[in-house]
Amino acid sequence: MNNSNINEMNDLSIVLCGEAGQGIQTVEQILTRVMKLSGFNVFATKEYMSRIRGGANSTEIRIASRRVSAFVDQIDILIPLSQGAIKHLEKRITPQTVILAEKSAFEKECLSDKCNIINIPFNQMATDLGSPIYANIIAIGAVSGLLGLDLQIINQFLQQRFSTKEEEVIRKNIEAAEKGYTIGVELSRSGKVRIGLPPSSQAKDEIILSGFEAVALGAIAGGCNFISSYPMSPSTGVWIFLTQHSKEFDIITEQTEDEISAINMAIGAWYAGARGMVTTSGGGFALMVEGLSLTGMLETPVVIHLGQRPGPATGLPTRTEQADLGFVLHAGHGEFPRIILTPGTMEDAFYLSQKAFDLADKFQVPVFILTDQYFLDSYYNLPSLNLSDIKNQSHVVRTNKEYKRYLMTENGISPRGIPGYGEGLVSVDSDEHDEEGHITEDLDLRTKMVDKRLKKLELIKEETIPPELIGNESYQTLIIGWGSTYHTIKEALDILGREDVSFLHFKQVYPLHPNTSDYFKKARKVIIVENNATSQLGGLIKLYLGFEIQDKILKYNGLPFSVEEILEKLKNFI
Amino acid sequence: MNNSNINEMNDLSIVLCGEAGQGIQTVEQILTRVMKLSGFNVFATKEYMSRIRGGANSTEIRIASRRVSAFVDQIDILIPLSQGAIKHLEKRITPQTVILAEKSAFEKECLSDKCNIINIPFNQMATDLGSPIYANIIAIGAVSGLLGLDLQIINQFLQQRFSTKEEEVIRKNIEAAEKGYTIGVELSRSGKVRIGLPPSSQAKDEIILSGFEAVALGAIAGGCNFISSYPMSPSTGVWIFLTQHSKEFDIITEQTEDEISAINMAIGAWYAGARGMVTTSGGGFALMVEGLSLTGMLETPVVIHLGQRPGPATGLPTRTEQADLGFVLHAGHGEFPRIILTPGTMEDAFYLSQKAFDLADKFQVPVFILTDQYFLDSYYNLPSLNLSDIKNQSHVVRTNKEYKRYLMTENGISPRGIPGYGEGLVSVDSDEHDEEGHITEDLDLRTKMVDKRLKKLELIKEETIPPELIGNESYQTLIIGWGSTYHTIKEALDILGREDVSFLHFKQVYPLHPNTSDYFKKARKVIIVENNATSQLGGLIKLYLGFEIQDKILKYNGLPFSVEEILEKLKNFI
Amino acid sequence: MDKKIFDMGDIDIAWCPGCGNFGILNILKQTLAELEIPPEKLVLVSGIGQAAKMPHYLRTNIFNGLHGRSLPAATAIKAVNPELTVIAESGDGCTYGEGGNHFIHAIRRNPNITNIVHNNMVYGLTKGQASPTSQAGFKTPVQVDGVMVEPFNPIAVAVALDASFVARAFVGDAPKAKEIFKKAILHKGYALVDIFQPCVSFNKVNNYQWFKEHTYYLEESYDPHDRNQAFKRATEKDKLPLGVFYINPNKSTFEENVGVYNQNKEPLYRRELDRLKPLQNLIDSRRKA
Amino acid sequence: MDKKIFDMGDIDIAWCPGCGNFGILNILKQTLAELEIPPEKLVLVSGIGQAAKMPHYLRTNIFNGLHGRSLPAATAIKAVNPELTVIAESGDGCTYGEGGNHFIHAIRRNPNITNIVHNNMVYGLTKGQASPTSQAGFKTPVQVDGVMVEPFNPIAVAVALDASFVARAFVGDAPKAKEIFKKAILHKGYALVDIFQPCVSFNKVNNYQWFKEHTYYLEESYDPHDRNQAFKRATEKDKLPLGVFYINPNKSTFEENVGVYNQNKEPLYRRELDRLKPLQNLIDSRRKA
Ligand SMILES: Cc1ncc(C[n+]2csc(CCOP(=O)(O)OP(=O)(O)O)c2C)c(N)n1
Ligand SMILES: Cc1ncc(C[n+]2csc(CCOP(=O)(O)OP(=O)(O)O)c2C)c(N)n1
Ligand code: SF4
Ligand code: SF4
Ligand SMILES: [Mg+2]
Ligand SMILES: [Mg+2]
């Protein structure tokens, strides 16, 4: 076997692959934290099957000197944790991939000569230590050794992490890490595997955030104090996070009997003075559509986090897709405005989720935070989140005796009172209603009420988050993307390094910012990238800007785009 | 008071207005039938409040020598049945409107000099006959007398209609009709009210059909043998009709606990070999959206009749609107094909509803029949329905041992088996699945399955019903409409009488017929008419044809367009 | 308190003359007045149907939501502001048909709200289809051969769900109905009052007379704390008992369970929206872990 | 019949090793074999969840629909083709949570189907949230202080709804469970079997041991025809009885009630699609009326 010199670039991709329930998540967590504490930038993402045990799941961890935040196909180091792992990743394994594994156990999966297995008897070593469960920690140690980390950092971290465990357990884990570490160092020293990856001190003190954490933290920042939901992958993480911090932040959190109840509770909560949200996925949201229409008529704010996954119906519950945009845009009978936010970065997710509550409250409309499994389940380090500009304003008014919930105003927004605050009465009604909120059959009033509700869209446009242009202002080719593809496209373009190609990322897809057309007019060529089969943002752009995008890069097998994939597909076009 | 010469045109509009529960419907039914039997063409439509008793509801009955099938503002004869009726119709009453009423009772509602009340002491006369309930029949008699009908026809009809009642009741009713008739004849003879309206023998033997009857009959023609629904205005009529004829046609009809159950039952019914449908309105359909997505994944046929009414939410439950098109087009998470039919005439409703079942069965997709309250609650006479071309083909196959429900085929359509018919097994699955219908995590197969499902859309396009062009091929101006506005726009254009203005009516709005663009290219000016606030078909045309329609005639107060309104608005544009 | 305080003034009520809903409106106003509940502190929550129009006819805060969905909204309103008296009111179809799942789970959740169900054994607003409580044999335009199944028994189901308060009333006996309403509102926890209400337009079978003949009151000595006993009485068929069937006083309420009122009794709207300091701490904690 | 006829061959089963679902799969195969039900004449209908994957592991016709919606689909399938044996099978969350309303109304409708509910007192597939049947105090990532309410009691509710067959089984006792399955499938009408099934991954409390200790069988002499008695036994708390709680043999089935089989026993798919002659008559009748 030849010696392996892994990328002279400042970037390493480690993939762990094994069965569900085998502890991949623990390895992933420890490894990313230890790497960050050692001064590396980290990124992790996972793909997994819809099952609790067995199958083949994998996590990719990127470790780099510069920031990394996107999925790559490349595997520099593969650590297979169970049979079938190598087969599962077949397409991504190259002769450059170093496989750290018990050779005898995995050799038979290597059908090609691509398999560069460095034999490490993880299991034997673990058993020697007293139990096979130490194998994972040995692997962590080995990688750390390869990278030449400071063993102290690892030991400290393990100590802290297992602090609730018995002394013996801690000791064994540290011992396991050290055993692995020695092997790693040895591999590196012997030249068998050589990794040239300088740490960058910047990362050390940064925070690590996943998509679901960023959304949840943003919700807290936005004053969320009520969440009613029904479990559904991949959206449940947001709710779990909020629940686990519900005491610190006075959040009512309730598991409902179904999604219909969830949305109606959230609406009731806003009515009574809370800032409520729901978190769900496409199928759960399908059950909330009537409730969505209710918010349109009641002019109740509501925040809906929708983590997309491949449909139709149950589809691929644990996979990713961006195929619910058209649905969300048109959901609900009747006509009423809405806002759709589509964060691309952890910062986006945080600030937009915060803003979602303010927008909902201010305009009395439903606001969507549209993410996907890939986004929610990925994480990386970032400097921090700046809270200094966050100031939530409650748009609730104290009512007086003359209060009318649907007072006709010039801009269509009626001051929103809540019951019990002031002397007035607050009446909201799902029927067409008069200014007081009482059911009406006055058909002239009906027209006025429709106009009043729709008018708000113009106001909303004034506060629309413009798309972000990444790259040169004077581009010839413009790449379009939205939501979770942000970092992947950005990294691909970085690599492409073409001055004339820029990237326009939409963080709010509806309503579109009034100046959006300008970007299209300037471009000679426009290419859209979407994780769906029918180019839904393309449709939206055609509908609202009249601009038809011919060149499309679409993917809908349940996996996110990789940087390489974007790069290659782009090359076909430009 | 001046004498009234009502239209020398061949057309008379009679409006009855009164409280809910006052028997307007009976008057309307008898009057239209008697008129038709006397050789007049008839059209009737109603507008009513969401209540069971009280309020102010009205029915318009048009009687004409030529065919009439659209709502007009004009009121030639008004018969107010209760206090408030004149006020309710204020805007439509002109000095030419002849009001047949007890003067003393209604005079005070006449604030303007527009009120031309011909005093007929209906109540007194009825009381003289023994009960005020005969007032309505007296009114029927009066109108018949005015028009110079054959009294025999009226008497015969009443005899038949009340045949289950006691002899005495029949006699009294006939007597009441005769009393009214005498007054009518007298009014006519005296010249107080003169109506020049020749009957046309063609109508006599024709059938009268309402929108909901036409849809229901079409469903029967399409082999519908299962309907599961939950009551919701204005869609319930279809279901009631099917239920009332369920014995003749072997139809399983079930009231479900909610709309979710309704759609899932209909899907289960198709799976097991029935032809199922649901009927609902926007709010009920909102609850079926997850089920819709299920049909997308299972590739189960289903037929959904959706009678539109104004939203959002409960909105105006008994009114009309065309504002659920965008919703229906994009409803459901994930991506899958569908078909949306939008009948404009009773013939359309019948033939398209029949065809809906065949299309659903053939392409294994959900098919929508999109109507609205105005359409469902209107009726007129038509020659008949031609059944000779109707031949339903069951697309169900007998399975053999090797049967695979999702067999990959060239055109994307897998032969559909049903359990218990043949030796094969039929497995359907809401998860992404393999050819056999079993859950899969094979992501390459996923892509193939998405392609397979979406591919069907191309086939569907080949069978799309093209839009109907009414008027000259060589138009300058093209009016666009869909669904229920058919007759109204048509009549307005008839009156307008411009050679250069034609009307393109969409009976299928999705997918669009491949040649549709041609119509737009030829037009100098395009004007779209929609009963909604945001021009939803306009959006669809922009999305799929890239053609933006600037000139819009929109209405969204809960009422249908009238012929005059279209005419007037058109004049602003051309 | 004068019950006039709840009057809406000169409005047009969409119910049919003679409808039992008028009586319930009246009884409810009287109850609220006697309990001295000010309109500003009360929220009437309803779904869609004839019964569900009630909130429009009683001057107070109202939340007239979707058909079948009154209970989730009412539960949340009470949880967010426990200072409010919350009454969810709707029809039998709305509550037991479309809303059946919420009915089950609201009972389990046990918010301190009152649930008044106008049981006319029919779908009124949609013109007379069978409701879950329609009696077997009841004919309608879509039950052409009559209802084939036994009526849904909300009392028995509520007892099976160990509801904290379960009662049945009849609008034809206003004084007794008022007493039941009072007990229900004063009860801490979810309180169901299924109230028989004749629909004069679409239910010609179960009219005032029928209800009078087919009901009687649970005897004075009846102890509503025995669940098995309650079930037995709830399933009687010849005559339907009226009164309070069951009380379980040992259940904590949803508002107690949600936790946010353990230390701080303020309703949510009176609390700070910005919790930046603990948020900063939480964010900072991500530096290490 | 050999139960192997239902084997799927060499497939990858997505359940965790040791999961109670394996036992249920086995018991069901055995039951079907002993009842000689051919795979072609059987339809397994399910929702979504771990339990709901069952149909994929048993060779027959399957309809794996939406979470919570197995019962409407199963009801319709049976109604459209009564020659099929239809079993609706899903988890506790699917059936009593998301599907709660269908549970109530399917019981009322009484289709001749069997409803097997894998009751592991947890949401398995979504990784361990509480289900309606989770015991009070059960801690999960979203019930951080433990479940605050009493578990949903499907047996008591089914009895309250006068279900035609109500039983509870435990997968840990295969022979007895099989007998209960058999009775349920042979029963004419809706038959509920709530079967205790340990979830080894997410429910560490209610494991095999716990179920063994907390259950016992209704005595031989127990008469399942007494509804009050059934309710009483259904609400026992210390130990949960197993067996057939309640049978109401007097209910007509949904298929009987729908009417289309009164004269003609053929399933719908074997009937003519074109009914043009009566249709022509019906149309013609509109000439006069
Ligand atoms: C989702 C939905 N489905 C159906 C309807 C139509 N609908 C309005 S009221 C009603 C039934 C009302 O019956 P009930 O709740 O018993 O009230 P009642 O009118 O008898 O007082 C129905 C089915 C609706 N508004 N929304
Ligand atoms: C509408 C909808 N909401 C939520 C989900 C997510 N979901 C899948 S399975 C499940 C719970 C499963 O619990 P249970 O029915 O008890 O089955 P188990 O996995 O425990 O066997 C949920 C909530 C879904 N698929 N569809
Ligand atoms: S329809 Fe029945 S319930 Fe509705 S208002 Fe009239 S009488 Fe009352
Ligand atoms: S998660 Fe629980 S129920 Fe699901 S397969 Fe694993 S042990 Fe069984
Ligand atoms: Mg009712
Ligand atoms: Mg479960």
Which residue do the tokens 């979406």 mark?
A: B454
Neighbors of chain D by Cβ distance (3+ pairs < 8 Å): A, B, C
Minimal CA separation from C7 to chain A, in Å? 13
Q: What is the pLDDT of residues D97-146, one digit of tens each?
A: 999 999 999 999 999 999 999 999 999 999 999 999 999 999 999 999 99
Ligand 3 neighbour C123 (Cβ under 6 A) = no
Whether residue B384 has pLDDT greater than 70: yes
* DSSP category for residue B137: H
Of all ligands present, the nearest one to the C-alpha of D201 is 4
Residue C28 covered by a domain: yes
* Section B439-443 average pLDDT: 96
Least confident of B74-88, B109-123, C176-190, D120-134: B109-123
* Section D136-163 average pLDDT: 97
Which residue do the tokens 């008027």 mark?
A: B471
Closest CA to A254 of A267, A264, A239: A239
User: Nearest 5°: CA angle at D202, between D198 and D203?
Assistant: 45
Averaged confidence pLDDT in chain B: 95
Separation of alpha carbons A346 and A208, rounded Å:
10
Per the CB < 8 A criterion, the answer to whether A475 and A501 are in contact is yes
* Section A205-233 average pLDDT: 97
Q: Is B287 on the interface with D (CB under 8 A)?
A: no
Take residue A268 and report the two structure tokens written for it: 């009731």
Q: What is the pLDDT of residues A303-325, one digit of tens each?
A: 999 999 999 999 999 999 999 99
Q: Which pLDDT score is estimated for C22?
A: 98
Separation of alpha carbons D219 and D280, rounded Å:
62
Under CATH, to which class is A208-382 assigned?
alpha beta
Q: Which pLDDT score is estimated for B21?
A: 86
Give distance in angstroms: CA of C95 to centre of ligand 5.
Answer: 9
Q: Which pLDDT score is estimated for A272?
A: 98
Q: Is B257 on the interface with C (CB under 8 A)?
A: yes
Least confident of A99-108, A310-319, B231-240, C126-135: A99-108
Separation of alpha carbons B225 and B248, rounded Å:
11
Q: Which pLDDT score is estimated for C225?
A: 98
**Between B112 and A315, the higher pLDDT residue:** A315
Ligand 3 neighbour C85 (Cβ under 6 A) = no
Of all ligands present, the nearest one to the C-alpha of A284 is 2
Residue ranges of domains in chain A: 4-205, 208-382, 468-573
Please return the burial class of A34, using the count of CB atoms within 10 Å of its CB with bins 0-12, 13-18 and 19+. Answer: buried
* Section B155-175 average pLDDT: 91
Q: Which pLDDT score is estimated for A4?
A: 59
Per the CB < 8 A criterion, the answer to whether D155 and D196 are in contact is no
Q: How many CB atoms lie within 10 A of CB B482?
A: 27
Rounded mean pLDDT for each run of 10 residues along chain C, 289 residues in total = 96 96 98 98 98 98 98 98 98 98 98 98 97 97 96 98 98 98 98 98 97 98 98 96 98 97 97 93 89
Ligand 4 neighbour D23 (Cβ under 6 A) = no
Neighbors of chain B by Cβ distance (3+ pairs < 8 Å): A, C, D
Residue D96 covered by a domain: yes
Burial D104-118 (b: 16+ CB within 10 A, else e): bbbbbbbbbbbbbbb
* Section D242-268 average pLDDT: 97
Burial B285-321 (b: 16+ CB within 10 A, else e): bbbbbbbbbbbbbbbbbbbbbbbbbbbbbbbbbbbbb
Backbone φ, ψ for residue A20 (5° rounding): -60, 140
Whether residue A124 has pLDDT greater than 60: yes
Whether residue D77 has pLDDT greater than 50: yes
Give distance in angstroms: CA of B441 to centre of ligand 4.
Answer: 18
Ligand 4 neighbour D151 (Cβ under 6 A) = no
Size of chain C, expressed as the number of residues it contains = 289
Closest CA to B531 of B319, B321, B316: B321
State whether CATH 3.40.920.10 applies to domain A4-205.
yes
Q: Which pLDDT score is estimated for A191?
A: 85
Separation of alpha carbons C273 and A528, rounded Å:
39
Separation of alpha carbons D128 and A57, rounded Å:
19
Q: How many structural domains does chain C have? A: 1
Helices and strands in chain B, H and E counts: 21, 25
Q: Is C253 on the interface with A (CB under 8 A)?
A: no
Residue C49 covered by a domain: yes
Share of chain A above pLDDT 90, in %: 88
Of all ligands present, the nearest one to the C-alpha of D142 is 2
Residue C270 covered by a domain: no
* Section B364-370 average pLDDT: 98
- Determine which helix (DSSP H) or strand (DSSP E) holds A306, and give its type and residue range: strand A302-308
The answer to whether the pTM exceeds 0.95 is: yes
Separation of alpha carbons C115 and C95, rounded Å:
9
The residue type of A95 is: P
CA dist list (Å): B571 to B72, B484, B486:
17, 21, 18
Q: Is D145 on the interface with C (CB under 8 A)?
A: yes
**Most ligand 1 atoms within 8 A of CB, residue of C19, C122, C126 to mutate:** C126
* DSSP category for residue A53: S
B256·D76 Cβ contact <8 A: no
Per the CB < 8 A criterion, the answer to whether B334 and A317 are in contact is no
DSSP 3-state of B458: helix
Residue C108 covered by a domain: yes
Nearest to A257 among C39, C102, C279 (CB): C102
End-to-end CA distance of chain A: 39
**Between A115 and C24, the higher pLDDT residue:** C24
- Determine which helix (DSSP H) or strand (DSSP E) holds C30, and give its type and residue range: helix C20-34
φ/ψ region of B14 (left if φ > 0, alpha if ψ in -120 to 50, else beta) reads beta
DSSP 3-state of D254: helix
CA-proximal residue: ligand 4, atom 2 (nearest): D199
Ligand 2 neighbour D50 (Cβ under 6 A) = yes
Residue D246 covered by a domain: yes
Q: Is C102 on the interface with A (CB under 8 A)?
A: yes
Which residue do the tokens 């209970």 mark?
A: C71
Whether residue B1 has pLDDT greater than 50: no
Is the peptide bond preceding residue D82 cis, with omega within 30 degrees of 0? no
Size of chain B, expressed as the number of residues it contains = 574
Ligand 2 neighbour A239 (Cβ under 6 A) = no
Whether residue A109 has pLDDT greater than 90: no
Closest CA to A34 of A241, A170, A203, A210: A203
B244·C201 Cβ contact <8 A: no
CA-proximal residue: ligand 2, atom 16 (nearest): D93
Q: What is the pLDDT of residues B167-213, one digit of tens each?
A: 998 999 999 999 999 999 999 999 888 888 888 888 999 999 999 99
Q: What is the pLDDT of residues A404-447, one digit of tens each?
A: 999 999 999 999 999 999 999 999 999 999 999 999 999 999 99
CA C287 to chain CA centroid, nearest Å: 50
Q: What is the pLDDT of residues A23-39, one digit of tens each?
A: 899 999 999 999 999 99
Number of the ligand 4 atom closest to the C-alpha atom of D127: 1
The residue type of A443 is: L
* Section A382-411 average pLDDT: 95
Closest CA to A313 of A289, A286, A349: A286
Any idea what the CATH number is for the domain that residue C66 is in? 3.40.50.970
How many residue contacts between A and C have a Cβ separation below 8 Å?
203
Q: Is B458 on the interface with A (CB under 8 A)?
A: no
Q: What is the CA radius of gyration of chain C?
A: 20
Domain that holds residue D178: 3-262
Q: How many CB atoms lie within 10 A of CB B453?
A: 22
Separation of alpha carbons D64 and A317, rounded Å:
14
Long-range CB contacts (< 8 A, 24+ apart) of C140-145?
C140/C202, C141/B240, C141/B243, C141/B244, C142/B231, C142/B236, C142/B239, C142/B240, C142/B243, C142/B253, C142/B255, C143/B255, C144/B243, C144/B244, C144/B246, C145/D259
Ligand 3 neighbour C16 (Cβ under 6 A) = yes
DSSP 3-state of D89: strand
Least confident of A109-123, A490-504, D160-174: A109-123
* Section A118-138 average pLDDT: 92
* Section A367-385 average pLDDT: 97
The residue type of A574 is: I
Whether residue B8 has pLDDT greater than 60: no
Closest CA to B128 of B142, B118, B140, B138: B138
Whether residue A114 has pLDDT greater than 80: no
Q: What is the pLDDT of residues A553-565, one digit of tens each?
A: 999 999 999 999 9
Contacting residues of A for B330, CB less than 8 Å apart: 326-327, 329-331
**Most ligand 2 atoms within 8 A of CB, residue of D98, D103, D119, D200 to mutate:** D98
Q: Which pLDDT score is estimated for A2?
A: 45
Helices and strands in chain D, H and E counts: 10, 8
Minimal CA separation from B428 to chain D, in Å? 5
**A208-382 has the same fold as A4-205:** no
Separation of alpha carbons C247 and C249, rounded Å:
6
Q: Is C95 on the interface with D (CB under 8 A)?
A: no
Q: How many CB atoms lie within 10 A of CB A1?
A: 10
Task: For domain A468-573, give its CATH number from 1.20.120.1200, 3.30.450.40, 3.40.50.920, 1.10.10.350.
Answer: 3.40.50.920
CA-proximal residue: ligand 3, atom 1 (nearest): C124
Give distance in angstroms: CA of D58 to centre of ligand 6.
Answer: 19
